Amino acid sequence: MSELELPRNLVEGAIRYGDDQHRAWMNALPSVIAEIARRRDLDLGAPYQPGGFTSWVAPARTHDGLDVVVKFGRLDTEAAHEYHALRLWDGNGAVRLYDVEEFEGTIFLAIERCVPGRALNELEESEQDEVLTALLSRLWIEPPPRHRLRSLQQMCDEWANGFDRMIAAGRSALDPGLEREGMALLRTLPSTADRNTLLCTDLHAGNVLSAQREPWLVIDPKPYVGDPTFDAVQHILNCPDRLHRDPVGLVARIAGLLDLDPLRLRLWLFARCVQESPRWPGMADAAVHVAPR
């Protein structure tokens, strides 16, 4: 395993964003993968390319002939939380979790392999809307009392603080009044939800794959607990043409499919567009169009 193939995005992420700890983890990764594969008698394939920025993911076969996907991520990143959600969903709308281990700063997961594995984003967006919202409705379950999942409030506070630092560094893309309004909503919306559920938070059509056990299954959740309305926003952000052409109509469609309050979904969308505006071209214009009137 000394010649372990690394996904291109994993290498690029280490170069562009990695610190000393990340580079140390990358240097140790081949031996960690080799040790876990040896102890579990896994036959590993080449990693998926270009892959993700924070984990090594590849097809594999277990000692008893089960085809799986294995994932090796940094223990101090979002990968450390994924398995908690997969256990709670237990295959209901998401891939099944077969195995998990924490080892020398790495979190190892063995999960269900989706076959044929076609991504939902290959379909027309109107079809994506229906499939993705049906899955979300199933995934929004009440977490157990003593869960280990992070709160949506925590993530939104971190995002808002990061936004404030970017603005202070001169990366503003919006009117200051809209920026203040957007960050105020980002900080307060989580605490005003009428219910809190298990969330995917990064559920878009690229993270939904065709499978045999069910027509479509969710992969790669980044779970939190909080307002389910928040979870509908990522798909909207990943439909930029419709977002810029008719944002209010798109909000109404997604809210209707999920039986959500369209005004609350619009407020969440506005907050997210403001938050993404310094680094995502087009989000400033979207924020202006969906701003509360």
Active site residues: 202
Q: Which amino acid is at 1?
A: M
Cβ-Cβ contacts under 8 Å for 288 (sequence gap 6 or more): 174, 178
Residue 172: C-alpha distances to residues 168, 253, 266, 276 (Å): 8, 31, 22, 11
In angstroms and rounded to an integer, the radius of gyration of the C-alpha atoms of the chain is 20
Q: How far apart are CA 263 and CA 118, in angstroms?
A: 34
Q: How far apart are CA 200 and CA 198, in angstroms?
A: 7
Q: Please give the full DSSP string across 225-248, using - where no structure is assigned.
A: EE-HHHHTHHHHHT-HHHHHH-HH
Number of other CB atoms surrounding residue 212 within 10 Å: 11
Number of other CB atoms surrounding residue 245 within 10 Å: 11
Q: How far apart are CA 17 and CA 25, in angstroms?
A: 13
Q: How far apart are CA 91 and CA 53, in angstroms?
A: 25
